[in-house]
Structure 1
Amino acid sequence: MDFIVGLPRSKGFDAIMVVVDRLSKYGHFILIKHPYSAKSIADLFVKEIIRLHGIPISIISDRDPIFMSHFWQELFTRQGTHLKMSTTYHPETDGQTEVLNRTLETYLRCFSSKQQKVWAEFIPWAEYWYNTSFHASAHCSPFEVVYGRSPPSLVRFIPGETLVEAVAQDLKDRDEALTQLKFHLTRAQDQMTQYANVHRKSVEFQVGDYVYLKIRPHGQTSMPRKLHPKLSARYYGPYQIQKKNWRGGISITVANRCSNTSGVSCLST
């Protein structure tokens, strides 16, 4: 259980409470807004989680002041829930939610880099697509684990099927969102795999390869600050590698001139 905060306000919301079941990987993306308290989050937890799944045996979270508050601790302890907190230097205790948060932020970044104040509209479909997509760890979707059956198939909209313009627009928007979600879910999962693999082996780039350049630290001087940093793209490009030097530095072409990077840590495929 965790929060995604620092988002631009959309439909009155500026944060997301992410709750994921450890067994099924089923996730809930719950819109919230500041200011919120332990009491308001607990009420929302009852409304959105306990109503559907019952009292949890345990909750893993970070040491957010909400979860460390006396109210939160007493409320759930008295209901038989064991509260487990990640330590300051080992936040991976709640790694499952951290991975889901990064995936969700990737969704939002891909959808909203140009229209950042509409991200809240995508959250219900993001939750739906996440829960009905295949997860390698479970060999099926979270939906199938929870309900014991495959999710119902969505009937794709065919233009001209309805004369009600508002209905046609809603269904068209839904299908476009789901198409993007499918693409970006796969992309996000691939990025998670690449991120893990980087820590296991070195990355080799060759002259002629096309790479993306990390916005930071370059973004401070060369990129316009028109977008909210939480949903802005993290890399820009692609650019072609022109040469490599013996120190490991890589030169690429940016805006028709050579730009030296400090190393492969600033690059991505």
Structure 2
Amino acid sequence: MDFIFELPADARGHTGILVFVCRLSKMVRLAAARKSVTAPQTAQLFVDNVFRHHGLPKAFVSDRDPRFVSHFWQHLFRLLGTRLDMSTADHPQTDGQTERVNRVLEDILQSVCAAEPTKWSTLLPQVEFALNHAVHSSTGFTPFYVNGLRHPRTPLTLPPAFNLGGGEANAEDPRGLKGLRTSVKRNLHSFIETG
């Protein structure tokens, strides 16, 4: 998880984005935030944007100040009605994956918001969708497909009105669960070997 700040203020005073990236699927979740966002507010953004869809991750990786992360965890687990005792690591781990997403996100927002820079927050759902619908180089699949074994429908993929019947799933289809596991393993091994 990481923040992008110094964006033009939107109508609600947001000047930043809280970015969450799943380390396995590469799924991205985005939430508009104010520069003055507190740890309790960050915890609430996590619950609203990540927890309700995916549950708790096994671990968080962030390059934020360890005291802030500890405060975040305290409020998050208070919101979830449980408890966590944390110890601070000697060396905070940098989240290069999220940093890369941040660069791509900033480029996309500059492109789509050039005419109206203060409208960036209204486009976050579409930008998040686009990021999650793009094939990721390390997995060979889209984050949507890795998470749900399907791609969501878009206006371009809707069937014609006269052809609304569904087809039977093909067990041999490489996009099925068995094929997905095989392909993801092969792609990850290849990605690791090539560096």
User: How many angstroms apart in 2 are the aligned matches of 1:17 and 1:83?
Assistant: 24
Q: Tell me, yes or no, if structure 1 residue 123 matches structure 2 residue 113.
A: no
User: How many angstroms apart in 2 are the aligned matches of 1:141 and 1:7?
Assistant: 28
Aligned to 2:61: 60
Aligned to 1:50: 51
1:150 maps to amino acid: H
User: How many angstroms apart in 2 are the aligned matches of 1:110 and 1:87?
Assistant: 36
CA deviation string 1:89-148 (max 9, x = no partner): xx7x30000000000000111122332112122211000011011112111100000011
Task: Give me the TM-score of the superposition, normalised by structure 2.
Answer: 0.68
Asked if the contact 1:59–1:83 (Cα under 8 Å) also holds between the matched residues in 2, the reply is no
Asked if the contact 1:143–1:150 (Cα under 8 Å) also holds between the matched residues in 2, the reply is yes
1:96 maps to amino acid: Q
The count of aligned residue pairs is 153
Aligned to 1:72: 72
User: Taking structure 1 as reference, are residues 76 and 66 closer, same or farther at Cα in structure 2, changes over 3 Å only?
Assistant: same
User: How many angstroms apart in 2 are the aligned matches of 1:81 and 1:26?
Assistant: 28
Q: Tell me, yes or no, if structure 1 residue 23 matches structure 2 residue 24.
A: yes
User: How many angstroms apart in 1 are the aligned matches of 2:58 and 2:85?
Assistant: 5
As a proportion of its length, which structure holds more strand?
A: 1
Q: How does 1:42-191 map to 2 (within 5 A)?
A: 42-64=43-65, 67-69=68-70, 71-75=71-75, 79=83, 87=91, 93-155=94-156
2:155 maps to amino acid: L
User: How many angstroms apart in 2 are the aligned matches of 1:51 and 1:109?
Assistant: 30
User: Aligned-pair distance for 1:79?
Assistant: 4.6
What secondary structure, in the 3-state scheme, does the structure 1 residue paired with 2:61 have? Answer: strand
Greater radius of gyration (CA)? 1
Q: How does 1:32-43 map to 2 (within 5 A)?
A: 32-43=33-44
User: How many angstroms apart in 2 are the aligned matches of 1:84 and 1:136?
Assistant: 33
Aligned to 1:7: 7
User: Taking structure 1 as reference, are residues 144 and 23 closer, same or farther at Cα in structure 2, changes over 3 Å only?
Assistant: same
CA deviation string 1:135-168 (max 9, x = no partner): 1211110000001112223248xxxxxxxxxxxx
> Percentage identity across aligned positions?
34
Unaligned runs of 5+ in 1: 157-269
Asked if the contact 1:60–1:83 (Cα under 8 Å) also holds between the matched residues in 2, the reply is no
User: Aligned-pair distance for 1:63?
Assistant: 2.4
User: Aligned-pair distance for 1:85?
Assistant: 6.9
Larger relative contact order (CA 8 Å, sep ≥ 6):
2
User: How many angstroms apart in 2 are the aligned matches of 1:81 and 1:124?
Assistant: 34
User: Taking structure 1 as reference, are residues 142 and 18 closer, same or farther at Cα in structure 2, changes over 3 Å only?
Assistant: same
User: Taking structure 1 as reference, are residues 31 and 66 closer, same or farther at Cα in structure 2, changes over 3 Å only?
Assistant: farther
- Root-mean-square deviation (CA), in Å? 2.9
Task: Give me the TM-score of the superposition, normalised by structure 1.
Answer: 0.50
CA deviation string 1:238-262 (max 9, x = no partner): xxxxxxxxxxxxxxxxxxxxxxxxx
Asked if the contact 2:144–2:152 (Cα under 8 Å) also holds between the matched residues in 1, the reply is yes
User: How many angstroms apart in 1 are the aligned matches of 2:127 and 2:5?
Assistant: 17
User: How many angstroms apart in 1 are the aligned matches of 2:144 and 2:88?
Assistant: 26
Asked if the contact 1:38–1:66 (Cα under 8 Å) also holds between the matched residues in 2, the reply is no
